[in-house]
A and B are shown apart, each in its own frame.
Chain A
C-alpha cells in the first residue's frame, strides 16, 4: 500500500510517500507526477515513511527527474538506509539529488 500526500506552496510541491513503492503502487505515483503543472519549479519527495522501493518505483523517480530537469529541480529527502542501498546499487544516488 502507498499513501501519497501532496503539499503545495506556490511553485514548490512536496510529495510525502508512506508505505511501499512497488509494481502495484508505482502507477499511482506516476499519475500524480504527470498531473504536476509546468509552473512547478521545485519538487521534493519526502521518503521518511517509505519502507520499500523496487525497479517500478525507480522508473517513476527517473521520469520525474527527467521532467523536472526541464522545469526546475527535484530533491529526495529522509531516505532510509535500506532504500539508500538500492539507490547506491543502481547508480540512482548519482542521478538524484538526495538530502
Chain B
C-alpha cells in the first residue's frame, strides 16, 4: 500500500498523476489502461479540489493498493470535506445534441464507465471513494 497526502488543490493534480503513474509503470500497463486510470484519477481528484471543502483548504489522500491475485489496482481517494457521494448523481444523457448538452457530471460518468468497480462510503468524518481496475483482460 502506498499513500500520497497533498493539499486538495488543482495545482497538485500533476503530482497526484505522477504518483499514480509511477505505480502503474511497474505493472506493464497498456497505454489505454493507463489513460483510463489517469482520467479517473484526474476527475476524482479535481472534484475533491473543487468541491470537497467548498472553497476552503483541506487535504486529500490518495491510497494505492495492488491486488496480486486478480491482478488489479485499487485507488482510494479520501478527504475530510462535506459528506458527498458523487456516485449518486444522475448520469448525464450522452445521446443529446450539441445544443442540449451540458457538461456537468461527465467526469464521474467517465469514471463509472471505465473502471471495473467504483464505491463510496463516509466513515469517521471522511469521504472515501474507491476505484478498482483489473490489469489484464
Those of A51-71 within 8 Å (CB) of chain B: 51-56, 58-59, 62, 65-66, 69
- B106 contacts across to A, CB distance below 8 A: 55, 58-59, 90
The yes or no answer to A78 lying at the interface (CB within 8 A) is: no
**How many CB-defined contacts (below 8 Å) exist between A and B?**
65
Interface centre among A51, A54, A69 (most CB of B within 10 A): A54
* Nearest residue, chain A, Cβ from B111: A55
Query: How far in angstroms is the closest Cβ of chain A from B117?
Result: 17
Select from chain B the residue with minimum beta-carbon distance to A1: B14
Given A54-B42, A59-B103, are A90 and B109 also a contact pair (CB < 8 Å)? yes
Contacts of A53 in B (CB 8 A): 39
A89 to B38, CA, bound (A): 15
Q: How many residues of B sit at the interface, in one of the four size bands? A: 20 to 34
B21 to chain A, nearest CB (A): 11
> Other than the known A56-B46, A69-B99, what 13 A-B pairs have Cβ atoms closer than 8 Å?
A23-B13, A52-B38, A52-B39, A54-B39, A62-B98, A62-B101, A82-B31, A82-B35, A85-B36, A89-B94, A89-B110, A91-B96, A95-B98
Binding site for B on A (CB under 8 A): 22-24, 51-56, 58-59, 62, 65-66, 69, 81-83, 85-86, 89-91, 94-95
- Listed in ascending order, the chain B residues whose CB lies under 8 Å from chain A are 10-11, 13-14, 31-32, 35-36, 38-39, 42-43, 46, 94-99, 101, 103, 106-107, 109-110, 113-114
Grouping DSSP codes into helix (H, G, I), strand (E, B) and loop, the A interface class, with mixed when no group exceeds half, is helix
Cβ-closest 6 pairs across A and B: A91-B94, A55-B107, A82-B35, A59-B103, A55-B106, A95-B98
